[in-house]
Amino acid sequence: MTILSTLYVCVTCRGGGEASAGEPRSGARLLAAVERGSAQAGTNLSVVGVECLSNCSRSCSAAVAAPGKWTYVIGNLDPEQHASDILAFARQHSAHEFGLPVWRERPEHIRKNTIARVPPMPLKESP
């Protein structure tokens, strides 16, 4: 299966507060929920936990990226409510040639909580 997009999930996000002793942070719980959802759906997404997306004031956060495509940073993700939204958006991103899913077709939470849209890096040409 060819991987078309990568979904990065910040595992250090606190998402509104400190975790109880022995409990994983909200970001780690979001990653676990996304991994479960991705495995169940059999998606062609790569799901990667990262240490920090520097979006602490609007955590939990995730980013969707692929070579030659626009990158999106999404915030205010709740591990119990938004794993399916970010997965749906990542699949839309993956399916679009330039990583630009139709705005109206994106999950509502994603439309309202997109932090940034970053243009693709130019691909280095071979000599």
Q: What is the DSSP letter of 53?
A: -
Which pLDDT value is given to residue 45?
A: 85
Which pLDDT value is given to residue 126?
A: 53
Residue 1 pLDDT class (50, 70, 90 cuts): very low
Which pLDDT value is given to residue 42?
A: 66
Which pLDDT value is given to residue 99?
A: 92
| Buried/exposed 66-90: b ≥16 CB within 10 Å, e otherwise | beebbbbbbbbbbbeebbebbbbbb
- Is 90 exceeded by the pLDDT of residue 25? no
Which pLDDT value is given to residue 13?
A: 83
Packing angle of the helix pair 26-41, 83-95 (nearest 10 deg) = 50
Q: What is the DSSP letter of 97?
A: T
Q: What percent of the chain has pLDDT over 90?
A: 68
Kindly report, residue by residue over 103-125, the tens digit of the pLDDT: 999 999 999 999 999 999 875 55
Kindly report, residue by residue over 26-78, the tens digit of the pLDDT: 999 999 999 998 887 666 789 999 999 999 889 899 999 999 999 999 999 99
User: Which segments of 13-125 are extended strands (E)?
Assistant: 45-50, 62-65, 71-74, 114-118
Q: How far is 84 from 78, CA to CA, in rounded Å?
A: 11
User: Which carries the bigger pLDDT value, residue 104 or residue 22?
Assistant: 104
